[in-house]
Amino acid sequence: MLYVGIVMALVLSIILTPLVKKFAIAIGATDTPDARKVHKKIMPRMGGLAIFFSFIIALIVTQPAGQYTWPIVVGASIIILTGALDDRFQLSPKLKVLGQVIAALTVILWGGVQVEFINLPFGGRMEFGYLAIPLTLLWIIGITNAVNLIDGLDGLAAGVSSIALITISGMAIIMGDTYVAMIGAILAASTIGFLVYNFHPAKIFMGDTGSLFLGFMISVLALLGFKNVTVISLLVPILILGVPISDTFFAIIRRIVNKKPISAPDKSHLHHCLLNAGFSHKETVLIIYGIATMFSMSAFIFSQSTLWGALLVIAVVLVAIGLIVESIGLLGKEQKPFLNFVRTRGK
């Protein structure tokens, strides 16, 4: 049934996306260019509806057995509604966050998706107790918005999300978790089908409808696949989602350093920096795909390593992140402490 679900999701997404495009244009769900955006013409958005419906239909047909299915479907429906309303009416940040909180609490309280404890490396475990719900809520909302923030170029969020979903599904298969593997694979197929129309030059944007939905689903699947594990293993989903997490992290640091509000928009995200460095639109997207794949491979190696091997992988990844961030000016053109230190030591 897994192969049936994957093929069905892929084909449905390819069929539904042009229909969603016509619907978006008909209701005025379009994205107008401005100084902060890369595209130069009015584009239909709300493409996430094609990903969502192809995923849901394939899910209903395959019917994966699990206690989380209906909470996930209801939570995803709430997040889709929130994104669709924002794509059409430009919701206030408070209303967008409210929709995300309601969706997250649906899977947390109804589905029981929570990180309740972690096993410590040298014995014993840390119970989160009353902090389990707020920590899980913070994770879901954080990843949801991280994916939303990287949706700045044709095919970027869809491609990075597909890589993350394929990695989560592959690792779930290794761990014997067929439920997470099936849902992740079906969602990846739905996203890849949409990518046919969304890769540069895009014919439609996924909008907040798609980026919030993908972020929400990835955050929940990562929790289901890696919750209640060791401190080391808890880093696996963080590595898999390295691109959106690091881009969001450095955006926050950049705004703090420049004494700007954390929510203030700018044109210094990873894709902006690569474009400013002279790479074309397509080259920038492919480079970020490569970085996302590097993170995913690191997560796989990390999960199969001993404790010291895992720590070595983390060290290598952190150095690589530092070099990339400072080389392209992700923190700002003048913020290069790591490179300055290396140059000083080299003299």
> Is 86 within any annotated ligand binding site?
no
Identify the residue whose tokens are 């130069």: 40
Instruction: Tell me which residue of 291, 278, 276 sits closest to 323, measured CA to CA.
Output: 291
**Residue 127 pairs with which residues in a beta bridge?**
117
> Is 208 within any annotated ligand binding site?
yes
Contacts 24+ apart (CB under 8 A), 195-199: 195/155, 195/158, 195/159, 195/162, 196/13, 196/14, 196/17, 197/17, 197/18, 197/21, 197/47, 198/47, 198/154, 198/155, 198/158, 199/154, 199/155, 199/158, 199/159, 199/285
Q: Which residues, in sequence order, are CB contacts of 287 under 8 Å at separation 6+?
A: 274, 279
Instruction: Tell me which residue of 216, 192, 242 sits closest to 71, measured CA to CA.
Output: 216
Annotated binding site for Mg(2+): which residue ranges? 148, 208
Q: Which residues are annotated as a binding site?
A: 148, 208
